[in-house]
Structures are given as C-alpha cells and as structure tokens.
Amino acid sequence: MVSPARSVSRLAMSFVLAATVAFGAKPAAAQESLSLIRDTEIEEILAKDSEPILRAAGIDPRNVEIIIVGSKELNAFAAPRVMGFNTGLILEADTPNELQGVIAHEVSHLAAGHSARRDEMNRAGMRPFLLTMGLGVLAALAGSPEAGAGLVGSAGYFGTLGALGYSREQESRADQAGATLLDKAGLSGKGLADFFDNFRYQEVFDEARRFAYFRSHPISSDRIEALRRRVESQPNYDKPDTPESLAAHAIMKAKLDGFLNPQVAITKYSETDASYPARYARAIAYYQLREPDRAIRLIDAMLQEQPDNPYLWELKGQILFEFARTEEAEEPQRRSVALKPDAPLLRVNLGQTLIALPDKAKVEEGVAELRKALTQEEDNAVAWRLLAEAYDKLGQDGMARLATAEFNFWVGDQRQARVFAMRAREKLERGTPEWRRATDIVLVSEPSRDELRELAREGSTTRRSR
C-alpha cells in the first residue's frame, strides 16, 4: 500500500522524466529532461495575458488549459484546448506585451490549422500525462516504484511537441495574423516584433545551436522587417503595458527565478532592492537554499503589507510544512484557502498538511479538502496520491486502493491502475459508486481476458459514466 512520505513540494525536487525528450533535432548529449509545473499564481497571470487574444480569435479561454513546462529552452505551443509555455521563454520575455506577442503568434497557428499533426497530439492523450507537479505542491512519489511506468509514459506527451514544425510561409502568415489579433484585442503589436527581433541572431546559427522555438519556428530578417512595418501601422502600436500587467509580469519572473535559479536570484534581486518582486524572489531563494527562518522573516514582513495575499500565506505554509513544522503550517494554509477558495492547488496544500497531523479528525478533514479539490480538478494526480495516503492512515483499505488506482490512471500507468482497481473491488461494498468507479477503471485500462471473464460473470463488463 502507499506509504506516507515527507513533503517533496520543492520545485528543485521535481520528478524528471525517465525518458529524456527534447524538442526538435537537438543532439542526444544536449537533450534536457522536462517536468510539468503547477502554480496557481503563475497560471492565473498567464491566463489573464492570454484571455483577450483568445477571445479575439473566437476561442473561449475557459476551454483552454494553460500548462507550464519546466525547461530553460525557449519554447511555447498551442494545440487544441491546450497552450503551453516553457519557463525559459517566460523568463526571456522582457514585458507582458512581448509574452502576449508570442501568445498571439501561437494562437494564430492554431486558428489557421497549422498544427496539422494535431491528431498526433490527441493520440498522445495529453491530460492523463499532465502530472500535477510544481511550486505549490508536488506529487509525493518517492519510494513508489509502481508509478515508474506512468512517469515514463509522460515522454509520449512531450514527444508530440516535436511534431509541431512550421514552414517559413506559415510563420509569416502567423506573424501577420498575430498582429491582427493583438490589434483586435486592443493590444500593441510592438512586443511581437520586439521578441523576434531580440533573437534575430538565431537566424545565423546552425540547427543544433538554435533555441527549440526557432527550430520549429524558422526566423528570418525579412520576416521580422515585414512584421515590424505591419505593427507600426496599427493604431494600438504605442499603447503601453498597464501598471498592473507590468507588476504581475515582474512577480511571475521573480517567482520563477527564486525557485529555479536561487543562487542567481540572491544576486539579481539584491538586498538593496526593496520592491515586492525582489523580496518575493529572495524569500523563495532562501527557502530553496534551506534557510527557512530567513525566508519566513521576509514573508512575514510582506504579509504585514499584504495580509490578504493568498500566495504569501501559501508560501509560508509550504515552507513550514517542508521543514517539519507541520502544526505551524496549518494556519497559513487555512488562510490561503479562505482567501482563495476556488483554487484547488491551495486546497491540496491544506489537505496535505492536515493528513500529516497526528489527529484522526484532522486527517478526516484533510480527506474532505482533497475531495473538494478533486471536484475542480479530477485529474489532479497529487490529490489522488495524498488521498490514498490519508485513507491508509484511516484504515479504509478499499478507498486507499481506489485512490491509488485513480492516481495511476491519471498519470497514464494503465497496468497499475487496473491492478489497484481490482484490489479495491475486493474491499469495497458491491454496487456502491466507489465500487462501480473501480470497475470502470478496470474496463478502460486494458484488462486481461481473465479479468474480463471475472467481470462478465458478475455482469460488470459495461462501462458506466461517473
């Protein structure tokens, strides 16, 4: 059964895919392992940047999932219902308008049907492979060998991204369409031209030395100049970024720097810089460098100024939890959820803290919090993993096995999902919703002939909706 594990919520501890995959034709020796990052604050900033552009393209933003890929490589992509950003690209975008320029370009590819190989993306089954990892909470997978196959399966998701390659003609069309979308959304096209202009030098590099984005999106000086002429003629060209968007962009980059590059962040955001993003980056960097008391002092000072900031409370609780101060972590986690009750990741953090406390009532409350999070994100692998741990502590073997089956199902490990679902059926009362869900997992996870015969004998071979 799933054994309790210490928190591994630090980004630095994130799982690296067993199969290393690179975008494009990068030499094997230079390939980079990738991880998927989850962070409510950053996801919301990216969603807000994307929303006006998606609406201008006639796409409902509610139907587009934002994902963040932990990689230094510059890359971004848009596929049906999904838009992804590498952390390297976010950190290289100097302004919100530059990032929105890339978004507009990618949405234009999507709207024009340029991702002609989208069937390959769909066949890869994206959502089952979206492991819920990240800055706020990370799957406690250490010591769980049965999850290995599911992690390797994620390579199929990343591999499909290499299929997105566009011709220079398609690139030029996407430039022009992106400029149109930005203007329609009331945004300047300057950032779009500036971003490509910043990397004009990539044109002279050979294929292997280019950033991934410019391998799949071939760049040329003629293209950049044509784009510049187009955006300069548009009425919104001189429209500046709003103070709010500039502040959010700075916060997003500071947060990523603190988690991903803590040693660099300490220097980049010096002690003499009293701005909020700088203090935020330093607090996170100190936490990553295992100086929790120093990090907490900074966070407490910021909370004096922003007592209703859920992300500061989340960070404080996260640090306390990871450094074995679980009882102290409970209150900050509660505050973060109270301030932002519609954020499932914050609720998962609280649930993780509660189930780690030596109090049955707290564990039961933690189960309730995790289940609330799953009503919003049923594919949240972390929540299922923690639920399995909680049910195990409560002695509810059937539910623990079902939660483990769900975890494996959502990370794409069909074999282990089926094994644990069959074990769950042995412990759960027949005919209950939980028993039926376990049966459904078996049926969609390539059951063996013997398993199908067993289900047929009891009349359970027809899959039901949840």
pLDDT at 133: 40
Alpha carbon distances (Å) from 366 to 191, 315, 333, 380: 45, 19, 12, 15
Task: Please state, as a whole number, how many other Cβ atoms lie within 10 Å of the Cβ of residue 196.
Answer: 25
CB 127 within 8 Å of CB 379: yes
Rounded to 5°, angle at Cα 428 from 426 and 429: 115
Nearest to 455 by CA among 466, 439, 432, 431: 439
Q: How far apart are CA 286 and CA 346, in angstroms?
A: 22
Higher pLDDT, 363 or 84: 363
pLDDT at 132 over 50: no
Q: How far apart are CA 344 and CA 176, in angstroms?
A: 38
Q: How many residues comprise the chain?
A: 466
> Which residue type is seen at 108?
S
Strands across the sheet with 35-37, in order?
A: 35-37, 65-70, 82-86, 76-79
Chain centre distance of CA 313? 20
Q: How far apart are CA 281 and CA 294, in angstroms?
A: 13
Q: What is the pLDDT of residues 6-55, one digit of tens each?
A: 222 322 223 222 222 233 334 433 445 567 788 999 999 999 999 999 99
Q: What is the pLDDT of residues 110-129, one digit of tens each?
A: 777 655 444 444 443 444 33
DSSP state of 12: G
Q: How far apart are CA 283 and CA 276, in angstroms?
A: 11
Q: What is the pLDDT of residues 293-330, one digit of tens each?
A: 999 999 999 999 999 999 999 999 999 999 999 999 99
Which of 85-89, 115-119, 164-168 holds the top average pLDDT?
85-89
Q: How much of the chain, in percent, has pLDDT values that exceed 70?
A: 73
Strand, coil or helix: 77: strand
Which residues have a Cβ under 8 Å from the Cβ of 452 and sit 6 or more positions away? 461
Nearest to 352 by CA among 132, 42, 68: 132
Nearest to 182 by CA among 220, 216, 233: 233
Q: How far apart are CA 69 and CA 284, in angstroms?
A: 19
Q: What is the pLDDT of residues 409-448, one digit of tens each?
A: 888 888 899 999 999 999 999 989 999 999 989 888 877 7
Q: Find the DSSP H helices in 189-340.
A: 190-198, 212-216, 221-232, 243-260, 262-268, 276-288, 292-305, 310-322, 326-339
- Joined tokens for residue 224: 């950049």
Query: What are the structural domains, with CATH classification, of the chain?
Result: 11-232 (3.30.2010.10), 290-394 (1.25.40.10), 405-466 (no CATH)
pLDDT at 445: 83
Beta strands at 76-79 and 82-86: parallel, antiparallel or unpaired: antiparallel
DSSP state of 134: B
pLDDT at 71 over 50: yes
| Beta bridge partners of residue 401, listed in sequence order | none
Full-model pTM: 0.79
The pLDDT mean for the chain works out to: 78
Task: Give 64's pLDDT tier (boundaries 50, 70, 90).
Answer: confident
Residue with tokens 């994902």: 67
CA torsion angle 307 311 314 316 (round to 10): -60
pLDDT at 66: 87
Question: By CB neighbour count within 10 A (0-12 exposed, 13-18 middle, 19+ buried), where does 200 fall?
Answer: middle
pLDDT at 28: 38
Rounded to 5°, angle at Cα 112 from 108 and 116: 115
Residue with tokens 């590498």: 86
> Which residue type is seen at 48?
K
